[in-house]
Amino acid sequence: MTERVVILDAGAQYGKVIDRRVRELSVECDLLPLDTPPDQLTQYAAMIISGGPQSVYDADAPRYDPAIFSLGVPVLGICYGMQLLCCAHGGSVARKARREDGQFEVEVEADCALFEGVSSRTPVLLTHGDSLNELPAGGRVVARSGDIVAAIEFAERKHYGVQFHPEVDLSKEGTHMLRNFLYRVCGLSGSYSMASREELAIECRPPARPPGKRGFAPPPPFRLPPPRRPCASRAGTSARASGRSACCASFRAASTQACVRRSSTKPSAASA
């Protein structure tokens, strides 16, 4: 198993932000749809389930295979992902009288691995209408926003859920929480970097095509186009125009001479 994390996207507007935060913490990750079959997820060391705009009870809610929670890897559910985790373990969520949209302070349990080193009261971004209603067996509430459950844990399974969004800047210590999940809970080493990604891409690059083998030929070298030749029709037109001009000039000259001769032969009034 490699040190890669899979992010299962449930339609979140912050899906790519989660992806970026994980990579910034030196962990390689892939972003896949929520309905990815479990047998395609066995290569990953951990799983993050993103938020989403729908209720887990909606008829058009994103489909998923409950077997993804039986792969034996750590799981972090974010917002919709926490509610999905709760229902998969036998709990329930419900639409409460109060919904949360914006930055709120939550109280966290310091003995939870996810919140180690985090302030006891920390501001986070909460955007949800449904809230946890019934805690599943084996679960523990590890954060609250007033009377609303903000985070749960299943310590033995290493499954965690947060109702807020640790990936955004409005969650002031969110990056620290993600680091705790990746390093303390998952035990990853953080060996991913752009340099290591470049080396891997070079190692996996397909070999060059040997000469004489069939395949896509390289593009021809760039050559400047030849100079344009004058158009024959335009050249003929210019010649004809020049000829007409010469004829006109000769006609004007002949007419002038004829006028001069007529004026010189006409008798004047004095001689008459």
89 flagged as catalytic: no
Q: Which amino acid is at 222?
A: F
Integer-rounded Cα Rg, in Å, for the chain is 41
Residue 36 near residue 8 (C-beta atoms within 8 A): yes
Contact residues for 118 (Cβ-Cβ < 8 A; gap 6+): 108, 110, 173, 176, 177, 180
Phi-psi label, residue 11: left if phi above 0, alpha if psi -120 to 50, beta otherwise: left
Contact residues for 52 (Cβ-Cβ < 8 A; gap 6+): 10, 11, 12, 62, 79, 80, 81
From CA 176, how far away is CA 188, in angstroms rounded?
A: 15
159 flagged as catalytic: no
Catalytic residue among 79, 86, 112, 186: 79
Catalytic residue among 89, 159, 165, 176: 165
29 flagged as catalytic: no
Active site residue ranges: 79, 165, 167
